[in-house]
Structure 1
Amino acid sequence: MNKHILRASLEDASLAPEACQVTPAHAERPPAGAEMARVLGTTPFQMALDSSGAGIAHWKHDPLHDVVAPMSHHVIMAYNGTVQRMERRMGSAVAIGTFRPGVVIIIPEGSSSRWDIPKPVDVIQLYLPHATLERVAGEVDSATSTDLLERTAHPDPITSRLLLTATDAVVGNVVVDTLFRHQLMDLLATRLLAAHVGAPSTFQPTRGGLSPVVLRRAIERLHSDIDADVSLAALASDAGLSRFHFCRAFKESTGLSPHAWRRQQRLEEAKNMLRGTDASVISIAVALGYSSQTAFAAAFRKLTGDTPSNWRRRAR
């Protein structure tokens, strides 16, 4: 094999770290969402970003033959389209991989490469600030580097499934999905530290749930309709815990993650309104904070297997 070319197999198309081109840390880099919009020449099908630029985007774009410039966030992608071969070049190094479900692509912060993808692409992208990765590593007592490896069509069905579920967080109930995104970001960061850094991570286990007082206060906040009161950061801060440890302790106490508990609570509210009032489905959707009747109906059906209208007829 030519020492200047790394040909990645179907099973593992990852690049050695030394093959990556990384710009100096002080160089000015665009946010990932802005650079992706530039190079893809389109707008995302769906996107949810926070003030740091961290977020989730669903892109459907045409074939790509261009250079992705260094970005100020790590970019992690899960492929959701038809199987196709692609090529990624970094200087004299070349990775040839196969885009297919179950693989991930990782572009570390500051990395640059040329992409040649011959067919249209359907992909979910996570934009992760390095500060988030470092915070999560500190919260879970990770004894490892936080330097992500370059990955090209690397088999990782766990990370791929997590990212593909993120499409549910881009639409629907704003309050619930904001909480879900916070948890998903931390969960994905934990997974990246375990599987995609230079050395395996070691996490120190912690046990025990929330105290009754802290749990009651958290549930009161989750019942609130105020967006700020149901942010994961606010819940964790109020409990005196990191976001990671709060989520673990909350699930230990309730059997559900904060996001799943909130979604279940919204479902019960919806059932009570459908059963006990004559309010229209659209007015119930608005009252519960959903962006549209369609989003509400999709969420309701996902949890119950039925539409709100059909469920109401059977419940009365």
Structure 2
Amino acid sequence: MQAASSGFGKAPEALARILDSAPPVVSDPLRGETTLTGRWGHGELHDHLPGMEGHVIITYYGQPQDIVWRVEGQRLAGQTRTGSITIIPEGHDGRWDIAGSIGVSHVFLSQERLQACAEDIAGGKTVDLLARVGFDDPLAGRVMEMLGREAAAPDPSARLFVEQATDLLCTQLVRGHSSFSALQGPAPRRGLADWQVRKVTDYMRAHLDAPVGLDELAALAGLSRFHFCTAFKAATGKSPHEQLVALRIERARQLLLRPDLPVTEIALAVGYETPSAFAASFRKATGMTPSAFRQGV
């Protein structure tokens, strides 16, 4: 729920209460009381985060993790991929579920700083940020990476760079992730309901060793094939094929912990007709072959 900032606490302190480590905020704030962190990390998260004062912008590093935010009756989902961002607008609360440890950097952005950057673009109108989770924006992600790298640099030139890069980030947020940008383009598509995601995912898990077609998955959700693909990706951040592959690799990793099972048998158990096809898919997902994974555990 969104409300005036006066009733909410500072974002870094709020995050510190639910994470396993506190955000390492750079002590010297920027214009408009905006603050940054360098690159850091925290563990998995399954907790409620109350509304906060100011906007929180996050980008990610390292191994992708599934991430879900339930806010204002919606289920927003994505992955913590490099080049993606998450936006927690001021005052928005909700339940967060992050599957595992992630690398992050943050910008804690005041409404004052955002609005100052929006003057020329939005013609003086008040701008509100849109809630995003693991949303692909390589430009904003790259600017966030630079800010994370330069945040704690002591020299005056770095400070000037950081201020200008923060203005660039604000401009991109207004252009692509605000109430102003929403008025300029088509309405966003809605994803699947939680029960539809669970039903489809449970079906995939039950049929990892067999071919799974889009038509049967769409029928489970009660949608056309085309609408299902679009809605599934909006709800989960993955295409149905990407989700099925992820589940197969997850199951394969579990089976590889059993040294008595041949790799060929594991390949068949997770839906691959040949060991070579299994090895290629496993390596693409994990960066190593099934045999190397088994040897390393």
Partner of 1:42: 21
- Does residue 142 (structure 1) correspond to residue 122 (structure 2)? The answer is yes
**Mapping for residues 61-140 of structure 1, pairs under 5 Å:** 61-138=42-119, 140=120
The one-letter amino acid paired with 2:35 is: G
**Mapping for residues 116-195 of structure 1, pairs under 5 Å:** 116-138=97-119, 140-143=120-123, 145-195=126-176
The one-letter amino acid paired with 2:18 is: V
> What is the CA–CA distance in structure 2 between the aligned matches of 1:160 and 1:26, rounded to whole Å?
26
> What is the CA–CA distance in structure 2 between the aligned matches of 1:48 and 1:166, rounded to whole Å?
14
Kept in 2: contact 1:104–1:154 (CA 8 A): yes
The one-letter amino acid paired with 1:142 is: A
Quote how far apart the aligned CAs of 1:49 are. 4.4
> What is the CA–CA distance in structure 2 between the aligned matches of 1:91 and 1:132, rounded to whole Å?
25
The one-letter amino acid paired with 2:146 is: T
> What is the CA–CA distance in structure 1 between the aligned matches of 2:28 and 2:148, rounded to whole Å?
13
> What is the CA–CA distance in structure 2 between the aligned matches of 1:145 and 1:43, rounded to whole Å?
31
> What value does the CA root-mean-square deviation take over the aligned residues?
2.3
Structure 1 alignment gaps of length 5 or more: 1-20, 203-316
Q: What SS is found at the alignment partner of 1:183?
A: helix
Quote how far apart the aligned CAs of 1:72 are. 1.0
Quote how far apart the aligned CAs of 1:176 are. 2.2
Partner of 1:25: 4
Q: What SS is found at the alignment partner of 2:22?
A: coil
Partner of 1:54: 34
Quote how far apart the aligned CAs of 1:46 are. 6.0
> What is the CA–CA distance in structure 1 between the aligned matches of 2:88 and 2:5, rounded to whole Å?
18
Quote how far apart the aligned CAs of 1:73 are. 0.7
Structure 2 alignment gaps of length 5 or more: 184-297
TM-score (norm 1): 0.52
Per-residue displacement from partner, 1:215-252 (whole Å, max 9, x unpaired)? xxxxxxxxxxxxxxxxxxxxxxxxxxxxxxxxxxxxxx
Quote how far apart the aligned CAs of 1:53 are. 4.1
> What is the CA–CA distance in structure 1 between the aligned matches of 2:66 and 2:182, rounded to whole Å?
31
Distance of aligned partners of 1:127 and 1:85 in 2 relative to their CA distance in 1, 3 Å threshold: same
Quote how far apart the aligned CAs of 1:142 are. 2.7
Runs of 4+ in structure 1 over 6 Å off? none
Task: Number of aligned residue pairs: give it.
Answer: 180
- Does residue 200 (structure 1) correspond to residue 176 (structure 2)? The answer is no
Per-residue displacement from partner, 1:156-189 (whole Å, max 9, x unpaired)? 1100010011122223333222222211221111
> What is the CA–CA distance in structure 2 between the aligned matches of 1:102 and 1:150, rounded to whole Å?
17
Kept in 2: contact 1:89–1:115 (CA 8 A): yes
Quote how far apart the aligned CAs of 1:54 are. 1.3
Q: What SS is found at the alignment partner of 2:53?
A: coil
Per-residue displacement from partner, 1:182-230 (whole Å, max 9, x unpaired)? 112211111111111123399xxxxxxxxxxxxxxxxxxxxxxxxxxxx
Kept in 2: contact 1:43–1:59 (CA 8 A): no
